[in-house]
Structure 1
Amino acid sequence: MQICVEYASQKSEKSVTVSDYINKWLNDVKVNDLKPSSFDRKEQTIKYQVLPYIGNISIYDLTSDDVQNMVNDLKASSYSYSTIKKAYECINSCLKYAVKRRDLAFNVAESVIIPKNLKREKSDIECFSDNEVRSIEAEAVKCYKNGKRIYRMGEIVIFLVNTGLRIGEALALEWADIDFKTRKAHIRKNMVYVKDRSSSEKSYQYVKQRSTKTKNGSRIIPLNAAAIRTLMSLKSINGSAKYVFATSKGKRVFPRNIDRMFRSILKNCGLKSVGVHTLRHTFASRLFAKGVDVKTVSELLGHSEVGITYDTYIHLIQEQQAAAVDILENVL
């Protein structure tokens, strides 16, 4: 069986472990077609969900049973379906590459069965009620007695709950992306927090990706009246800056600062401390409550496929379906 040329001068065939092979595949091959944030996530998956289970096995001795046991052990450790699927996809993709290079005769992961997607429980998704949204929006734009704003970027909270944008998408928005005439926003960039690989220190940095998280992430979204009012208010604050959400010096705002501000707003509203992503879930839940179909919600959220939207908000969709059936009873 042919062995990778890179290893041939240093290791015998049996000493090339899964850890050796998959890390070289990641750093020499996948680095070329992954965004920095995707690379970081795949690296973490390999480190924590693949290597602890099969990393020390020779790549040439790896069996279907070894990969199946990895999957079963992850399930037994209460990892989510998504996490298990990502771990499986990492080793499966790596082995496909090995077969394509003829380093292996066949892919042992092909016969492995991953668990069926477990439906999300209602408690998995945090959403705000309409009354809580009103309270949060009022707090976000409060001022001190002298008229100075308590939260300089408080409008972002109102903007997020009315657009459903990811925080990275919102923070990457430039005024050039906003069309006030047609009341639309062009979503085509994303701010991400990734490892600084130019530094020897274990540090991270924020970078602007010229594409969004998913293939459907680049999209044009309509802006409702609340979103427009928010943008007009921001124009008066930092309209001279490049970014819609900018610091007082016109620089980018970092997600951690928005999260810190948001938690302060929640505290002052007497609400549970949760992350900014809850505003995105709330946007989706309000649309479902109004009877908007799952495909439209998926497109607005920029999900890569409708199935993701369905699986994420299954309990909301089921509630909507139950309400629709109840309507029939009242009609008859």
Structure 2
Amino acid sequence: MSTAKGKKGTRNYGNGSIYPKPNGKGFIGEIFVVINGEKKRKKVSGKTKTDVRIKLRELQNNAEAGLLDTKPEEKGIVFYDFAIDFIERRAKFKGIEKTSETRDTYSLKKMGDFANLYIQDMSEELIERFFLENITISQSYINKIFQLMNRVFNEAIRKQIISENPMRWLEKPKSAKPTKIIRALTVSEEQRLLEVLKNEDILYAPQMLLSLFTGCRMGEVNALEVRDFDPKNKLLRIRKTVSEDNGGVTIHYHTKTYHNRDLSLSDDVADFLSKCIGEKEDGFIFLSSAGTIVSTSQVNTEFKKALEKYDILDNTLDGDVTCHSCRHTYATRFLESGSGVKVLQSLLGHSEIKITLGVYCDVQDSFKQAQLDTSNKYLENNNLSII
């Protein structure tokens, strides 16, 4: 079976083409027809290729007979079809990265049958009911779906398909699913972990150690190349990150928040990184045994194995511990040392200081008490008292 150039799994039928929907449920057909002397692309969808092929022929016949409706709002446009077209065009013409396109497509898939309604029929009440019926999905997915729907409706307004956004006054719902809080390691937990990482055979231990002592995201660590390290000046340039996409990994030539940064390393960390590089002159510093780029999930799997095998965690404490806890731990120790939060924001590459304040300001109780004692002593020395 031949496929159309540029789109895998696409087959031409006359002037049209048919390809599977991204969610695997049914097919989409595209055809160019002439309406009032103007060539326009039309889309149809169906459960089978035969259904779509028939609809394409009907479109072509109606166009040739001058019967094709030039006002789609009178018959309605399916939200899913319009959204897919919008996502594809946005990725193509605005240079949106593949991961963003995939994320939007997956968010559309999570909408299920609701996405098969006509855009014109999607009222505020229906949308609110949809979110209430799906209130148990994660807050992250609620946010993604909410944002996607808003963008699609605004595009529909721009194309004069609808006159106003039905979500204009709708507040983003809060998920009923409990949010997992990633916590930092305590000092004693970190001490036990360091002992294990330094002396036991733990896969990806170097990446875990580097994150613990630089605060880098694991995707940033796995994206490091030899050229990113300046041993003479002990500088580490953070310019890239690794993300996971459809079971594979992708290198992005920017960080998660698009805030590139240079980290000044201590002598110990610089020496450690030099040993990791060894005789390499270029390429990625950290690769799998198969020579492939390492993903965050791969590191996280080994990290959790080590935590369990060597009984590192204090299970009486709340919060989840993942390899991202290495970054939290770095930030927590930084604050406990008395260093400033504004400097920490820069080191972590946060776009706004409220992120640093909101996520990384957990400190150990012993540190809090020590700081409180210092404050009380200062008041006492200056004869400042309540009585």
TM over 0.5: yes
Q: Say which of 183, 188, 196 aligns to 1:126.
A: 183
1:263-301 deviation per Cα after TM superposition (whole angstroms, max 9, x unaligned): 343234213594322212222222232344443333322
The alignment-based identity, stated in percent, is: 22
Q: Which is richer in helix?
A: 1
* CA–CA distance in structure 1, aligned partners of residues 113 and 340 of structure 2: 42
Which residues in structure 2 correspond to 1:153-172 (within 5 Å)?
153-172=204-223
Q: Which residue of 2 aligns with 1:279?
A: 326
Q: Which entry has the higher C-alpha Rg, 1 or 2?
A: 2
Of the two structures, which has the highest relative contact order with CA contacts closer than 8 Å and spacing of 6 or more? Answer: 1
* CA–CA distance in structure 2, aligned partners of residues 130 and 88 of structure 1: 40
Which residues in structure 2 correspond to 1:1-332 (within 5 Å)?
6-7=42-43, 9=59, 13=73, 14-30=75-91, 32-48=94-110, 51-52=111-112, 54-74=114-134, 76-77=135-136, 79-80=138-139, 82-115=140-173, 124-142=181-199, 150-151=201-202, 153-195=204-246, 204-216=247-259, 218-236=260-278, 239-240=280-281, 242-247=283-288, 251-272=292-313, 274-313=321-360, 327-332=374-379
Q: Which is richer in strand?
A: 2
> How large is the Cα RMSD of the aligned pairs?
3.5
Q: 1:183 to 1:298 in 2, by over 3 A?
A: same
Deviation of 1:194 after TM superposition, in Å, equals: 1.1
Structure 2 alignment gaps of length 5 or more: 1-39, 45-58, 61-68, 314-319, 380-387
When structure 1 is superposed on structure 2, of 248-257 and 4-13 the one drifting more is 4-13
Indicate if the aligned counterparts of 2:108 and 2:115 stay in contact, CA closer than 8 A: no
1:235-271 deviation per Cα after TM superposition (whole angstroms, max 9, x unaligned): 33x5355222134676534444433432343234213
Deviation of 1:160 after TM superposition, in Å, equals: 0.8
1:210-257 deviation per Cα after TM superposition (whole angstroms, max 9, x unaligned): 2222222x2212223442232122133x53552221346765344444
Deviation of 1:178 after TM superposition, in Å, equals: 0.5
* CA–CA distance in structure 2, aligned partners of residues 105 and 153 of structure 1: 54
Q: 1:283 to 1:43 in 2, by over 3 A?
A: farther
Q: 1:135 to 1:77 in 2, by over 3 A?
A: same
Which secondary structure does the structure 2 equivalent of 1:111 belong to? coil
Indicate if the aligned counterparts of 1:17 and 1:58 stay in contact, CA closer than 8 A: yes
Q: TM-score, normalised by structure 1?
A: 0.77
Q: 1:86 to 1:319 in 2, by over 3 A?
A: farther
Which secondary structure does the structure 2 equivalent of 1:221 belong to? strand
Deviation of 1:125 after TM superposition, in Å, equals: 2.1
Which secondary structure does the structure 2 equivalent of 1:84 belong to? helix
Which secondary structure does the structure 1 equivalent of 2:199 belong to? coil
Which secondary structure does the structure 2 equivalent of 1:288 belong to? helix
Which secondary structure does the structure 2 equivalent of 1:109 belong to? coil
